[in-house]
């Protein structure tokens, strides 16, 4: 994590920057948009001084056997239907929670309920509203991106914050992960995938300046053609 004021590395738990004493802005867990923007800005800053432009995954020496790992998730149309049903369920729960608050505030239907239970009910209703709103946004974003990728026929995209990117080919969806260690770290260290604009980057989990560029074609080659059953990984190992 970097300080926005001076650019110094700071611990995620720190309240102030140890270099310039600037206050560290904390982003709430459910603030998916802000967290995504913060991660995106941080990755862009690191890209300028990393070796990502000079070294790509296809030419890098990785410290373990493997490479890109694609795990079959399911048929796109079926997954999109499930996502749509989830959105309807979240919206229904949120509407019900709002209705409970309205009934309590503007009618006498809950007048026989004790103050303690009224407080508990209203608290649960408010938590449900904000929780369902976050889930609604996350699932709707997932659904829209899946629809766009499916219309293209095939492609790769980072759909949900904090989750691996997905690839779609021939109407099938796969989760994409990395199956090798960082080639720059002395000790075995895993890497994850991030997306910056249209570019995918393998980022070290220990040192974010260790990056490798991943070509989209490298990912698609792992799922094209789709000759694997739904209970196997693309690398042949069972889930």
| Tens digit of each residue's pLDDT (9 = 90 or more) over 164-175 | 889 998 889 999
Q: Is residue 238's pLDDT more than 60? A: no
Structure tokens that stand for 86 in this block: 């989830």
Mean pLDDT of 106-123: 83
Give 135-201 as a 3 state SS string: HHHHHHHHHHHHHHHHHHCEEEECCCCCCCCEEEECCEEEEEEECCECCCCCCCCEEEEEEECCEEE
Q: Which residue has the higher pLDDT, 37 or 211?
A: 211
pLDDT grade, residue 83 (50/70/90)?
Answer: very high
Whole-angstrom distance, CA of residue 93 vs CA of residue 127:
11
What pLDDT sits at residue 81?
Answer: 93
What pLDDT sits at residue 232?
Answer: 46
In the chain, what percentage of residues exceed pLDDT 70? 67
The span from the first CA to the last CA of the chain, in angstroms, equals: 33
Q: Is residue 22's pLDDT more than 80? A: no
pLDDT grade, residue 237 (50/70/90)?
Answer: very low
Contact 75, 96 (CB under 8 A): no
What pLDDT sits at residue 170?
Answer: 86
Whole-angstrom distance, CA of residue 4 vs CA of residue 48:
16
For the stretch 142-192, pLDDT in tens is: 888 888 888 888 889 887 667 788 999 888 999 998 888 888 888 888 888
For the stretch 117-132, pLDDT in tens is: 888 888 999 999 999 9
Whole-angstrom distance, CA of residue 52 vs CA of residue 136:
35
Which residues are 166's β-sheet partners? 157, 175
- Please state the domain extents for the chain: 76-152
For the chain, give the mean pLDDT: 77
What pLDDT sits at residue 179?
Answer: 85
For the stretch 38-69, pLDDT in tens is: 666 666 665 655 545 455 666 666 665 568 88
Write out the DSSP string of 82-116: HHHHHHHHHHHHHHHHHHHHHHHHH-STTTTS-HH
């Amino acid at each position: 994590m970097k300080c926005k004021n001076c650019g110094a590395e700071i611990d995620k738990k720190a309240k102030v920057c140890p270099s310039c004493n600037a206050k560290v802005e904390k982003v709430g867990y459910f603030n998916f948009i802000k967290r995504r923007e913060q991660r995106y800005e941080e990755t862009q800053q690191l890209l300028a001084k990393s070796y990502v432009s000079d070294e790509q995954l296809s030419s890098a020496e990785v410290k373990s056997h493997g490479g890109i790992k694609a795990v079959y998730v399911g048929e796109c149309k079926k997954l999109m239907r499930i996502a749509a049903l989830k959105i309807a369920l979240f919206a229904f729960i949120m509407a019900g929670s709002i209705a409970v608050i309205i009934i309590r505030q503007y009618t006498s239907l809950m007048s026989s309920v004790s103050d303690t239970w009224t407080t508990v009910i209203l608290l649960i209703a408010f938590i449900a509203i904000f929780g369902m709103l976050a889930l609604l946004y996350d699932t709707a974003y997932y659904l829209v991106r899946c629809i766009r990728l499916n219309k293209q026929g095939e492609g790769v995209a980072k759909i949900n914050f904090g989750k691996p990117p997905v690839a779609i080919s021939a109407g099938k969806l796969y989760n994409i992960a990395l199956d090798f260690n960082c080639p720059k770290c002395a000790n075995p260290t895993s890497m994850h995938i991030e997306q910056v604009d249209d570019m995918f980057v393998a980022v070290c989990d220990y040192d974010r300046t260790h990056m490798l560029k991943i070509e989209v074609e490298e990912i698609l080659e792992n799922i094209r053609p789709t000759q694997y059953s739904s209970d196997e990984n693309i690398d042949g190992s069972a889930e």
